[in-house]
């Protein structure tokens, strides 16, 4: 439990982009600007995302994931084998964002996150957090029975092909001395909602949970010295969650994952309260979702402290760290407000400082 001090503050990863950066991502995708020219402009933009987090007081900062069209599509952007925009919505009933599907055998083309991480480390003296999508979430989002079977007969087979690629990326991030590495696996959390399972035609939920656990453990096998988190949430677009419900169904499985910390969406009422934490594994750090990014009202520190005090009924102070419920804008198309995220992160960090003083 020594890998993060109590009440350390993290982002989950993404931050809302200024409109000109959102336009830049769109222009890059449409071919109106070259990838190289877009990178040059993003090299100018990203330091402001870093400085914003440092000014808010965060202990672990990201690059805001401003270079990514989405937190999971970043895998398809780095690995050949996908065809763009084949899938509508990508699992969310609200998002209109189209998604790629795998159509041919995977072939890594360039790093997923290592270049971003190298830039982040060069521009920040803070500890850093870098996220990569988990193989299970990649497999749920980008394997499709109508488009993908000639490349990979089953979703499981596709996931197995993703595992060594994600593992290689995690190892590269460790080699860069990234302080905190996160596997984004919201699609494990979505399983708790029966209407999602019905929508996706999921009959054997235990098998799905097992796929997620196995993929995380195969990615992290032998990497015990690194500090690795898994992020779980109900996914969101335009302040609406894709699913809802308590994490009772999956909470015990978290104890079987070979990682150090779980950053879990818990501030929103859509997560069904904190009771599921009674079975939170006793040897893991909780990344308590303490900011509800779907609520436009900016939390005051007292509200964050109240949320922490509620969590203390289940998890002791030495195993609690703080983060917002999710990245504020996991896709660049997600219409979220950058200044609002700054104010919310600031309130979270002010609360964390009070808690650090109280429990030191």
Nearer to Zn ion, 100 or 330 (CB): 330
Which of 24, 49, 166, 326 forms a contact with Zn ion (CB under 5 A)? 326
| Shortest CB 30 distance to Zn ion, Å | 27
Q: Does 266 bind Zn ion (CB under 5 A)?
A: no
Q: Does 192 bind Zn ion (CB under 5 A)?
A: no
The C-alpha atoms of residue 185 and residue 131 are separated, in whole angstroms, by: 10
Q: How far is CA 32 from CA 24, 29, 206, 312, in A?
A: 9, 8, 45, 51
Q: How far is CA 100 from CA 75, 83, 139, in A?
A: 10, 5, 11
Task: Name residues contacting Zn ion, limited to 12-71 (CB under 5 A).
Answer: none
Window of 20-28, 62-70, 206-214, 325-333 that interacts with Zn ion by CB under 5 A? 325-333
Nearer to Zn ion, 21 or 233 (CB): 233
The C-alpha atoms of residue 247 and residue 252 are separated, in whole angstroms, by: 9
Window of 159-167, 311-319, 323-331, 337-345 that interacts with Zn ion by CB under 5 A? 323-331
Task: Name residues contacting Zn ion, limited to 193-212 (CB under 5 A).
Answer: none
| Shortest CB 231 distance to Zn ion, Å | 6
* Pick from 11, 21, 225: nearest CA to 120: 11
Q: Does 233 bind Zn ion (CB under 5 A)?
A: yes
The C-alpha atoms of residue 109 and residue 60 are separated, in whole angstroms, by: 29
| Shortest CB 329 distance to Zn ion, Å | 11
Q: Are 230 and 186 in contact (CB under 8 A)?
A: no
- Residue keyed to tokens 């993003």: 42
Window of 117-125, 147-155, 226-234, 344-352 that interacts with Zn ion by CB under 5 A? 226-234
Size of the site for Zn ion (CB under 5 A): 3
- Identify the burial level of 57 via C-beta atoms within 10 angstroms of its C-beta, where 0-12 means exposed, 13-18 middle and 19 or more buried: middle
Nearer to Zn ion, 191 or 326 (CB): 326
Nearer to Zn ion, 329 or 355 (CB): 329
**299 DSSP assignment:** P
- Longest Cα–Cα distance of the chain, Å, equals 58
Nearer to Zn ion, 6 or 133 (CB): 133
Could you list the residues that contact Zn ion (CB under 5 A)? 186, 233, 326
């Amino acid at each position: 439990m020594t890998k993060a001090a109590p009440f350390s503050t993290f982002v989950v990863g993404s931050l809302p982009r200024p409109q000109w950066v959102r336009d830049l991502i769109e222009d890059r995708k449409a071919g109106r600007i070259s990838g190289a020219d877009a990178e040059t402009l993003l090299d100018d933009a990203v330091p402001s995302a870093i400085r914003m987090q440092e000014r808010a007081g965060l202990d672990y900062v990201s690059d805001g994931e401003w270079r990514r069209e989405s937190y999971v599509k970043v895998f398809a952007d780095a690995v050949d084998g996908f065809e763009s925009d084949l899938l509508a919505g990508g699992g969310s009933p609200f998002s209109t964002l189209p998604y790629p599907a795998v159509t041919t055998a995977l072939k890594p083309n360039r790093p997923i996150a290592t270049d971003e991480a190298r830039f982040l480390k060069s521009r920040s003296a803070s500890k850093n957090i870098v996220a990569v999508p988990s193989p299970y979430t990649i497999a749920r989002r980008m394997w499709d029975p109508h488009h993908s079977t000639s490349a990979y007969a089953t979703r499981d087979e596709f996931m197995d092909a993703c595992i060594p690629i994600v593992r290689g990326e995690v190892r590269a991030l460790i080699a860069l001395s990234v302080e905190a590495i996160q596997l984004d696996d919201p699609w494990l959390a979505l399983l708790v909602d029966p209407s999602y399972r019905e929508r996706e035609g999921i009959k054997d939920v235990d098998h799905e949970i097992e796929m997620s656990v196995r993929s995380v453990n195969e990615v992290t096998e032998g990497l015990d010295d690194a500090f690795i988190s898994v992020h779980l949430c109900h996914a969101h677009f335009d302040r609406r969650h894709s699913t809802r419900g308590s994490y009772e169904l999956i909470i015990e499985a978290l104890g079987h994952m070979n990682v150090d910390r779980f950053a879990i969406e818990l501030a929103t009422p859509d997560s069904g309260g904190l009771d599921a934490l009674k079975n939170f594994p006793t040897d893991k750090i909780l990344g308590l979702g303490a900011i509800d990014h779907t609520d436009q009202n900016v939390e005051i520190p007292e509200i964050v402290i109240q949320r922490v005090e509620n969590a203390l009924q289940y998890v002791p102070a030495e195993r609690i760290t703080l983060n917002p419920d999710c990245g504020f804008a996991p896709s660049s198309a997600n219409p979220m407000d950058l200044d609002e995220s700054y104010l919310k992160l600031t309130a979270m960090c002010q609360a964390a400082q009070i808690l650090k003083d109280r429990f030191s």
